[in-house]
Amino acid sequence: MDLDPTLTPGLPRRLAALFYDGVLLFALLLVATGVAMGVQMLVVGGPSPVQGQWLRAWLFLVISGFFAYFWTHGGQTLGMSAWRLRLVRADGGNPRLPDALLRLACATIALAPAGLGLWWVLIDPKGLAWHDRWSRTRLILVQPPAKPAGTQT
């Protein structure tokens, strides 16, 4: 992975996008939980012993779908867009579904030990996190659009 160091985002920008997406994902998970509970009440008429297992599986699918959709449709979640980050494959191409799912799995592993895989960007010579390397994807900085000539700042 030959990277232009000026295109590699630092840890603060990554954390800001992650926080932003976390807030959005929290709201989405509240809605998804409400839908699941509504379906549970309609189908079973009340709580059941397997409810927790199905709810966890449903929420896992919602989280996976959130990231997979955004990463494969433009390479940016809403938080990444706000912080001008974009996900690309090592060859610079747009991520496909297998790339997105592999990155999500690798990120889950990399973040599990107190976020050590993310903090790794501070000492990595190329500024990459563990999941960047393992999934052969990377985040790049998106340059702001150029202002037309003659416009005021």
Q: Are strands 137-141 and 85-89 parallel, antiparallel or unpaired?
A: antiparallel
Which residues, 6 or more positions from 17, have their beta carbon under 8 angstroms from its beta carbon?
Answer: 77, 79, 80, 82, 83, 85
Q: How far apart are CA 30 and CA 28, in angstroms?
A: 5
Q: How far apart are CA 31 and CA 11, in angstroms?
A: 30
Tell me: the pLDDT tens digits for 69-104? 999 999 999 999 999 999 999 999 999 999 999 999
* Average pLDDT score, the chain: 90
Per-residue pLDDT band at 10 (split at 50, 70, 90): very high
pLDDT at 48: 67
Which residues, 6 or more positions from 27, have their beta carbon under 8 angstroms from its beta carbon?
Answer: none
pLDDT at 45: 78
Per-residue pLDDT band at 2 (split at 50, 70, 90): low
- DSSP, residue by residue, 16-72: HHHHHHHHHHHHHHHHHHHHHHHHHHHHTSS--TTHHHHHHHHHHHHHHHHHHHHHH
**What pTM value is reported for the model?**
0.86
Tokens 């000492």 locate to 123
Q: How do the domains of the chain map onto residue ranges?
A: 7-43+58-141
**DSSP letter, residue 96:** P
pLDDT at 98: 97
Tell me: the pLDDT tens digits for 12-61? 999 999 999 999 999 999 999 999 888 888 887 777 666 788 889 999 99
